[in-house]
Structure 1
Amino acid sequence: MPVTAVTTDPEALTMTLRAAFAAPVERLWHVFTDPRQLERFWGPPGWPATFTAFDLSVGGHARYAMTGPRGETSAGSWEFLAIDAPHRFEVLDAFVGEDGEPIAGMPAMRMTFDFAADGEGSTLTNTTYFTSSEALEQVVAMGAVEGSTLAMNQLDAVLEGLRAYAQGKGTRMELLSDTHVRITRLIDGPRELVWRAHQDPELMKRWMLGPEGWRMSTCEIDPAVGGRYRYTWEPVQGTEGEAFGFDGETLVSDAPRRMVTTEHMTGTDFPPTVNDMSLYEEDGATLLTVVIEYPDEDTRDMVLATGMTDGMEASYARLERELITA
């Protein structure tokens, strides 16, 4: 993971994040000053950022909003105070409301981003300066240490490029926390097709089957926000197992970029998970990322023990084979 330390200093009123990357300073500078790349990692998993303005000049402003897995939003604004490309820039960071104005009672913070060469790679030092100990405590209590760590640890995929980062590595699972898991899989095909493959019932029946020997017998989906879906699978003749299914609701739909749904095992009293799928295309390939939020650690471990990742890999490989390379 790129992040090496996140420390707070109550006397200096600072929070400092340090990270190391296998990329030159110029590349690191570029991902922090190109809004389309920056928004791929600025929000932590489950809270992706969208930058609606980005004027990289002293006195200019950047504005962004992060959207949570249940549709909730948190918006911010940067005012650029100093720029020394490709080594450093400094901003005034503020929480803002829907009108773009700072929210009363929320702290505004000065932040510096310093990029330095380190052998064949580079380092980032991101320091946030607070105006009071109360402001520092408030932001830390909001999860800034954990959130910034998770956000910056997404940078490797951006710096390397999708194919170098994920091609040929299959479906990968990472434990993000006691209740969060991230699944990633590179699909060698365009994002629009991968999106449709998750929306069109006839397409879904061709690939979302898990291990060989199963078929999707029911696929009903209303992809609109608030719409519901229902899937069932059953073994084909000669395969052991009992039919099962899932149902849930669409919480967020941002075609063809992101879809968030709940997932409940039909006919059980198990609590639902929240599945946050995002798609990013580069060079004709699409990185599919699913962040799954479980109700507790025991449920997470129980589901992972079923071989879920292997079943997902079988389905994603089938998606490429049946819909993209066919």
Structure 2
Amino acid sequence: MPVTDVTTDPQNLTMTLTAEFTAPVERVWHAFTTPSQLERFWGPPGWPSTFREFDLTVGGRAQYFMTSPRGEKSSGSWEFISIDEPRGFEVIDSFVDEAGTPLDGFPAMRMTFSFEETADGSRMVNTSYFDSAEALEQVVAMGAVDGSTMAMDQLDAVLQDLRAYAEGKGTRVELLDDTHVRITRLVNGPRDLVWRAHHEPDLIRQWMLGPDGWEMTECVVSTTVGESYRNSWAPVGDTEGEPFGFEGEVLLIDEPRRAVTTERMQGQPVETVNDLNLYEEDGATLVTVLIEYPDKETRDMILATGMADGMEESFARLEREVLDAARS
């Protein structure tokens, strides 16, 4: 967890976030000034950013939007007012509409990013300066403290080489809060093929089976927002267990980067939102699934079923049966 402190100061009209990283200043600078890197962490989990413009010059602008699992968009703009590579930069940060016009009723603020060396790597200090106590209070009420903390806590994964960060570590489960779980697994193959393996029935049937001894008896896929999907499994031979399945609706598709669906066990009312993201680097793909549960009790009940172990066996089969076959 790189964030070490978040302080709001109504007297001086500031909000300051401090974070420490084991990476050098130059690497942190690169992460904050490269759009493809920013898109991996600028925005809390479930609200990834897309930068449609990035002009890193004094007077230049960066325009971006964040997209929720259900497709809502929130847009922002930076106007660069000073740049001191690699020690920091300063922007005017604004809430904007899709055309980049500042939104009425939402504050703009001056925001500074400073990067300095430490004994173990680097420290970032991000300070936002507000025009009034009401503006500071409004941004805090919108969830800026928690949102900024969760966004910055994603940066460790960006600063490391992807293989060094995730290879050989299997399926990892992180409890983000009472209702959100993040699951990550590095898959040794290109993103386009990993996407296809998640969305083409012939490929899905080869790997999405969980533990040995199960077969997929139904695989109805959709990549159209608003349509439904349905998957079913049954035990084979002497394997113990009862047939089961999942179904849901497609909420968002951004091929081959992101797919969001609802999910519920067939015949059951409890529903989760599953947000699949794929990121490729050096021929490997980081699969990230952000799951939103209705409550903590449901979260704990589902995790206790051994879901993560079943996912690991499926991912191993994906590499073995699908990706290796494609390379041969």
Fold shared per TM-score above 0.5 = yes
Aligned to 2:261: 261
Shift of 1:18: 0.6
| Distance in 1 (alpha carbons) for counterparts of 2:139 and 2:305 | 38
**TM alignment of 1:16-95, pairs within 5 A:** 16-95=16-95
Helix, strand or coil for the counterpart of 2:299?
Answer: helix
Query: Quick check: 1:141 aligned with 2:134?
Result: no
Helix, strand or coil for the counterpart of 2:199?
Answer: coil
Q: Is the 2:21–2:120 contact (alpha carbons within 8 Å) kept by the matching residues of 1?
A: no
| Distance in 1 (alpha carbons) for counterparts of 2:133 and 2:233 | 55
Aligned to 2:304: 305
Shift of 1:120: 3.8
Shift of 1:100: 1.1
Aligned to 1:171: 171
| Distance in 1 (alpha carbons) for counterparts of 2:57 and 2:264 | 48
Helix, strand or coil for the counterpart of 1:325?
Answer: helix
| Distance in 2 (alpha carbons) for counterparts of 1:293 and 1:140 | 23
Aligned to 1:202: 202
Aligned to 1:3: 3
**TM alignment of 1:136-285, pairs within 5 A:** 136-269=136-269, 271-285=270-284
Shift of 1:268: 1.5
| Distance in 1 (alpha carbons) for counterparts of 2:25 and 2:77 | 25
Q: Is the 1:221–1:227 contact (alpha carbons within 8 Å) kept by the matching residues of 2?
A: no
| Distance in 2 (alpha carbons) for counterparts of 1:133 and 1:181 | 34
Shift of 1:157: 1.1
How many residues were matched structurally? 325
Return the letter of the residue paired with 2:60: G
Aligned to 2:316: 317
Helix, strand or coil for the counterpart of 1:248?
Answer: strand
Return the letter of the residue paired with 1:289: T
Shift of 1:198: 0.5
| Distance in 1 (alpha carbons) for counterparts of 2:109 and 2:296 | 35
Return the letter of the residue paired with 1:284: G
| Distance in 2 (alpha carbons) for counterparts of 1:258 and 1:48 | 10
Helix, strand or coil for the counterpart of 1:231?
Answer: strand
TM-score scaled by structure 1? 0.99
Shifted more, 286-295 versus 6-15: the winner is 6-15
Return the letter of the residue paired with 2:280: E
Shift of 1:310: 0.5
| Distance in 2 (alpha carbons) for counterparts of 1:222 and 1:291 | 19
Query: Identity of counterpart residues, as a percentage?
Result: 68
Shift of 1:5: 1.1
Shift of 1:39: 1.0
| Distance in 2 (alpha carbons) for counterparts of 1:302 and 1:7 | 36
Q: Deviations over 1:135-184 (max 9, x none)?
A: 11111111111111111111111110110000000000000111000000
| Distance in 2 (alpha carbons) for counterparts of 1:275 and 1:136 | 33
| Distance in 2 (alpha carbons) for counterparts of 1:51 and 1:202 | 35
Shift of 1:88: 1.1
Helix, strand or coil for the counterpart of 1:198?
Answer: helix
Aligned to 1:287: 286
Q: Deviations over 1:60-82 (max 9, x none)?
A: 00000000000000000000011
Give every structure 1 segment of 4 or more consecutive aligned residues whose post-TM-superposition deviation is greater than 3 Å. Answer: none
Q: Is the 1:216–1:231 contact (alpha carbons within 8 Å) kept by the matching residues of 2?
A: yes
- Gapped regions of structure 2 (runs ≥ 5): none
| Distance in 2 (alpha carbons) for counterparts of 1:94 and 1:145 | 17
Q: Is the 1:115–1:124 contact (alpha carbons within 8 Å) kept by the matching residues of 2?
A: yes
Aligned to 1:102: 102
Return the letter of the residue paired with 1:273: T
| Distance in 2 (alpha carbons) for counterparts of 1:10 and 1:309 | 44
